A and B are shown apart, each in its own frame.
Chain A
Amino acid sequence: HVVLYWNHLQNQVVSSRKVNTSGQEVPGKCTSTDMSVVRNFRTVKSAVLKATLNNPGQWQRSLSNAQHEIPTASNDMPIKMENPYKEPPKRCILCGVTVDFKNVQLLSQFVSPHTGFIYGRHITGLCGKKQKQVSKAIKKAQHMGFMPVTLKHPAFLKDPNICNIKHPE
């Protein structure tokens, strides 16, 4: 065997020596046949590099390391798993809350204090289902005589503001 010492920075062979099969050095200069090996070395090296490029993440810096065990792709690739930092889906504020016509205080939070208008989806921030339930419940309560129509009940004016609307003081 011809053992070549490859300097990757200079990209060339630094020195060479002859070694027999058991690894012991055989005295003697490298012959032309050995040099043909050197010429062929590029193909060998590219073959070696290809072998290493097949295992992404590994790149053998020196030929001597090729003697070592090449770790397989599965050892070093990121493990496939669900995103552990995934946030729970955003829910509207009434998720899980039953909307009832009797709960006038809750319904009044989605109504304008000046006119008694029912706020739209872009103001309340509710999902489709809940917005529909709320508006239906408000109309029901107003018709049945539970909730005022043209205004917001004065007892509920101090309630916390849920909707994305700022009233001028």
Chain B
Amino acid sequence: TDFTGVPLRRDHTGSITSGRRSLTVLEKRESLPAMPRYELALILKAMQRPETAAVLRRTVETLLERGAVVRALESLGERELPYKISKHNLRHCRAGYFLLDFHAAPGLVAPLLDHLKRDVDVVRPTVLKNQQPPPPQSAPCPGLETATGKRAHKR
């Protein structure tokens, strides 16, 4: 539950939301006031399935407690890290990769990252702004410049 004691529940699209906001929030997702869309790339320690599930659950619950709207949670699988990472007195070689899409107020990001850094099971959390791809421009791409372009008069 969140601060006001409203229980967590699923709305009509199936995502978990705190009942504080109205159900039409996700319909108007593009015009949410001051709620930009973020992406959390979560790299978790290689653990057994129930433990991973527990970490993910408490991460999502933290987000919802702070009034974020979780959009989707994707798993990129457990794989070998590109380089060994030392975190919380442990040297990690394998890890589980997860992507968490959510809408949140900008003031939530820094405290969230601080909270995740203190979590022992989290190897590397990164929050990115998730910008929608720009609409196709009216003018098509001009293409590569020919030799008569910039390089020619440099010589």
Q: Which residues of A contact B (CB under 8 A)?
A: 88-92, 95-96, 98, 102, 127, 140, 142-150, 153
Contact = CB atoms under 8 A, between A and B. Distances in A.
Contacts, number: 46
B84 to A, nearest CB: 11
A145 B85 contact: yes
28 contacts: A88-B143, A89-B144, A90-B143, A92-B144, A95-B143, A98-B133, A102-B76, A127-B141, A127-B143, A127-B144, A144-B41, A144-B43, A144-B124, A144-B126, A145-B43, A145-B81, A145-B82, A145-B85, A145-B123, A145-B124, A146-B41, A146-B82, A147-B82, A148-B82, A148-B83, A149-B82, A149-B83, A153-B82
A107 B41 CA distance: 18
A51 to B, nearest CB: 44
Given A145-B81, A149-B82, 11 more contacts: A88-B143, A89-B144, A102-B99, A127-B141, A127-B144, A144-B126, A146-B41, A146-B82, A147-B82, A149-B83, A150-B83
A150 B83 CA distance: 9
Nearest to B81: A145
B3 to A, nearest CB: 31
Query: Is the contact region of chain A dominated by helix, strand, or loop, or is it mixed?
Result: loop
Query: 5 closest pairs, A vs B, by CB?
Result: A89-B143, A148-B82, A144-B126, A145-B124, A90-B144
Interface in B105-155: 123-124, 126, 128, 133, 141-144, 146
Interface residues of B, number: 20
A163 B95 CA distance: 32
Contacts of B99: 102
Contact of A91 (B85, B126, B133, B144): B144
A100 to B, nearest CB: 10
B76 A91 contact: no
Contacts of B76: 102
A153 B143 CA distance: 31
Nearest to A96: B141
Contacts of B85: 145
A102 B128 CA distance: 12
Contact of B143 (A91, A102, A143, A149): A91
B82 A91 contact: no
A125 to B, nearest CB: 8
Contacts of A98: 133
A122 B99 CA distance: 34
Nearest to A147: B82
A89 B124 CA distance: 43
Contacts of A89: 141-144
A153 B142 CA distance: 34
